[in-house]
Amino acid sequence: MHQCIYPIMTYFRGVWCIMEKLVPAKDRLLKSNKNWLDGELRGKILVILCAVIMISATISITIFLGTKGLQSFIKNGVSLIEFITSTQWNPTNQAKPEYGALPFIFGSFAVTFLAAIVAAPLGIGGAIFMTEIAPSWGKKILQPVIELLVGIPSVVYGFIGLTVLVPFIREQVGGLGFSLLSGTIVLSIMILPTVTTIATDAMSSLSKNLREGSYALGATRWQTIRKVLIPAALPTLLTAIVLGMARAFGEALAVQMVIGNVRDIPTSILDASATLTTIITLNMGHTTYGSVENNTLWSMGLILLIMSFAFILLIRYLSSRRKM
Amino acid sequence: MNSKTADRIATGVFIAIAIIIISILVGLFSYILVNGLKHISLDFLTTPSSNVRAGGGIRDQLFNSFYILFITMLIALPLGIGGGIYMAEYAKPGKITDIVRSCIEVLASLPSIVIGMFGLLMFVNLTGWGYTILGGALALTVFNLPVIVRVSEDAIRAVPSDLKEASLALGITKWHTIKTVLLPSAFPTILTGAILAAGRVFGEAAALLFTAGLSTPRLDYANWNPFSSQSPLNIFRPAETLAVHIWSVNTQGLIPDVEDVSNGSAAVLVLSVLVFNLLARWIGSMIHKKVTASK
């Protein structure tokens, strides 16, 4: 079967056979056992090596970013309390530099939660549409739509946000246009496919008995969805939202292009703001490597790393609840 | 009666949500294509970009994008498939496997900017290479590896166990079975997954900002010596990719025709990703037809 499909592989196998025939039969038979063992061992070592590389990549990312991120507190003497709680960010002030990252931490969380609030109903609603309302044609239309949305690169989202959304908000809603609202809208569209895909899996993996039992009791479709299906799928639906939030929290360029990048805590969603990722993107390039300001950027990177661990733990907790 | 009205309203809401999602996509795509296609010309694709004047193209950026993608895949595919084989065939349930699985999960959920920062630390500063294609490709490998591992693990697990057992029953060793039975059968699925992953890598920018840099030296396309600093094939030169280019002209560019250049680049980027997706589907279905002899 494979010969006709994989001519290249067959070719290599052919070359291999010819090479094998060059060795006299006696040698081949006498040594074959050892040769097999060699190949076997070599394969195993090769494959284990790949796994080891993966583990070491993860561990070295954690260690490198951990030590680099802690340097600003240990070596440069920036106070951790000030870093997390102060709203004053003036690293370039010669006389009295201040390193309060609270505006950026706040911005990151605000934009993440707002995006989740917008994307969760849309995503879960889309999933329910695909699985409950129109399982036959709805899925055929919406599934490719979701896959195409995943494929659009994040800079393109940012660029469209910059050229369409920002002027629109400036003229129709008010403010500068560069705002928390723009960031929220761009991010919620970006995380929509993540939420929808996982929510669809969750809804379609529910047992048919649940649906039929509920309909047999005379419940309408909406009652079935609300009282039976959503509660049953709740842990996975929450996982979908958390995964979306994890993606929103770490997204950099698209947000950076629309959010305005100011160093104050926003007072309304029409105010410009900044997030941890945007400040890293903007300043990493033109601060001197090893300077205090540069080191505080690495500390913000460490916060991103810690948050992505936190999201994983949250997802683990949710999936352990699902199993019970 | 009341619950029936509620049911109808709910159905309407769900249909509205579906329509919203579809119109978002249609809106995005028509905006990108309508505004972008009129800027795409042979001239746009083959002239180098300009930092100050209008009328620059994207020749170098386009080449860099494909070249970095190629190098990334060259590193990530063997590693990822090896990892997938390990997870599917060699890993025994237990502590170590759990650790490997957690590592994959962590890698997969890292924000791309964090991977970019790690790349800056490791492949730019520690090695002393500066901004290089190789550094960018290695950062993208970290970003891409979990996807390929997962795809190949699933593909190998999905091979019917009859095939594997028959091979083992014939006295063929495990590694030889993997090489000659499991991998060829899993190949179509791995290929499809790899092409989809390639689309993701192609559009990635945040991980490349601090690893491959924001500039491209003057390239001489007639120079094929990979060790010459002007050669496009040199992997130790900085390289701005298409996605990074869109970001940089919009945030720190000086050229007067920012919007034209970024519209055109965005359309090229989206079309390329679209081609990757269609290619993956087409290859997947074609091989599926050949293997199963069904329509």
**B106 at A interface, C-beta within 8 A:** yes
Tell me the C-alpha distance between A261 and A276, whole Å: 10
Instruction: Give every residue of chain A whose pLDDT is below 70, as ranges.
Output: 1-38, 322-324
Q: According to the model, what pLDDT value does residue A2 have?
A: 44
Task: List Cβ neighbours of A286 (8 Å cut-off, separation of 6 or more).
Answer: none
Name the token pair of B47: 């002239």
**A117 at B interface, C-beta within 8 A:** no
Cβ–Cβ of B109/A304 closer than 8 Å?
A: no
Name the token pair of A121: 């109903």
B38-292: CATH topology: MetI-like fold (1.10.3720)
A98-323: CATH topology: MetI-like fold (1.10.3720)
Numbers of helices and strands, H then E, in chain A:
15, 2
- Residue listed under structure tokens 């590693």: B79
DSSP state of B272: H
Q: According to the model, what pLDDT value does residue A174 have?
A: 80
Cβ–Cβ of B250/A158 closer than 8 Å?
A: yes
Tell me the C-alpha distance between A203 and A205, whole Å: 6
Q: For testing the chain B interface, which of A32, A46, A61, A230 should be mutated: the one with the most B CBs within 10 Å?
A: A61
Residue of A48, A50, A250 with shortest CB distance to B111: A250
**B259 at A interface, C-beta within 8 A:** yes
Cβ–Cβ of A159/B7 closer than 8 Å?
A: no
* Angle subtended at Cα A45 by Cα A42 and Cα A50, rounded to the nearest 5 degrees: 130
Of A242, A148, A149, A146, which is closest to residue A200 (Cα–Cα)?
Answer: A146
Pairing assessment for the beta strands A89-90 and A98-99 based on DSSP bridges:
antiparallel
Q: According to the model, what pLDDT value does residue A26 have?
A: 63
Cβ–Cβ of A46/B82 closer than 8 Å?
A: yes
Task: List Cβ neighbours of A51 (8 Å cut-off, separation of 6 or more).
Answer: B82, B83, B86, B87, B91, B100
Is residue B10 within 8 A of residue A230, CB to CB? The reply is: no
Residue of B17, B82, B83 with shortest CB distance to A129: B17
**A58 at B interface, C-beta within 8 A:** yes
Q: Please give the model's pTM, rounded to 2 decimal places.
A: 0.87
Distances (CA, A) of B99 to A54, A132, A315, B214: 11, 38, 16, 37
Q: Where are the domains of chain A?
A: 2-74, 98-323
Closest-CA residue of chain B to A66: B118
B222 to chain A nearest CA, in Å?
31
Partners of A273 in the beta sheet? A260
Q: Please report residues of B whose CB lies closer than 8 A to that of A147.
A: 277
* Angle subtended at Cα A267 by Cα A265 and Cα A272, rounded to the nearest 5 degrees: 65
Partners of A98 in the beta sheet? A90
Q: Which amino acid is at B76?
A: A
* Per-residue tens of pLDDT for chain B, all 295 residues: 588 899 999 999 999 999 999 999 999 999 999 998 888 888 888 888 877 777 778 888 999 999 999 999 999 999 999 999 999 999 888 888 888 888 998 999 899 999 999 999 999 989 888 899 999 999 999 999 999 999 999 999 999 999 999 999 998 888 889 988 899 889 888 998 898 899 889 989 999 998 998 888 888 888 888 888 788 888 898 889 999 999 988 887 778 888 888 899 999 999 998 898 888 888 888 877 776 665 4
Residue of B25, B81, B287 with shortest CB distance to A145: B25
Residue of A49, A50, A155 with shortest CB distance to B205: A155
Q: According to the model, what pLDDT value does residue A311 have?
A: 94
Is residue A19 within 8 A of residue B55, CB to CB? The reply is: no
Is residue B251 within 8 A of residue A258, CB to CB? The reply is: no
With residues binned 3-state (H G I as helix, E B as strand, rest as coil), the percentages for chain B, rounded to 5, are: 75, 0, 25
Q: According to the model, what pLDDT value does residue A188 have?
A: 95
Is residue B234 within 8 A of residue B135, CB to CB? The reply is: no
Cβ–Cβ of B28/A160 closer than 8 Å?
A: yes
Q: How many CB atoms lie within 10 A of CB B92?
A: 7
Tell me the C-alpha distance between A188 and A120, whole Å: 9
Cβ–Cβ of B82/A49 closer than 8 Å?
A: yes
Distances (CA, A) of B103 to A246, A301, A309, B85, B97: 17, 19, 11, 16, 10
Tell me the C-alpha distance between B200 and B127, whole Å: 27
Cβ–Cβ of B31/A164 closer than 8 Å?
A: yes
Task: List Cβ neighbours of A172 (8 Å cut-off, separation of 6 or more).
Answer: none
Question: Residues 121-160, chain A: which have Cβ within 8 Å of B?
Answer: 121-122, 125-126, 128-130, 132-134, 138, 141-142, 145-149, 151-156, 158-160
Numbers of helices and strands, H then E, in chain B:
12, 0
Task: List Cβ neighbours of A171 (8 Å cut-off, separation of 6 or more).
Answer: none
**A290 at B interface, C-beta within 8 A:** no
**A70 at B interface, C-beta within 8 A:** no
Tell me the C-alpha distance between B177 and B166, whole Å: 10
Of A168, A241, A41, which is closest to residue B173 (Cα–Cα)?
Answer: A41
Backbone angles phi, psi at A207, to 5 degrees: -65, 140
**B32 at A interface, C-beta within 8 A:** yes
**B170 at A interface, C-beta within 8 A:** no
Tell me the C-alpha distance between A25 and B201, whole Å: 49
Of B244, B238, B73, which is closest to residue B143 (Cα–Cα)?
Answer: B73
Of B100, B102, B75, B69, which is closest to residue B85 (Cα–Cα)?
Answer: B100
Helix (H, G, I), strand (E, B) or coil at A176: coil
B254 to chain A nearest CA, in Å?
16
B111 to chain A nearest CA, in Å?
5
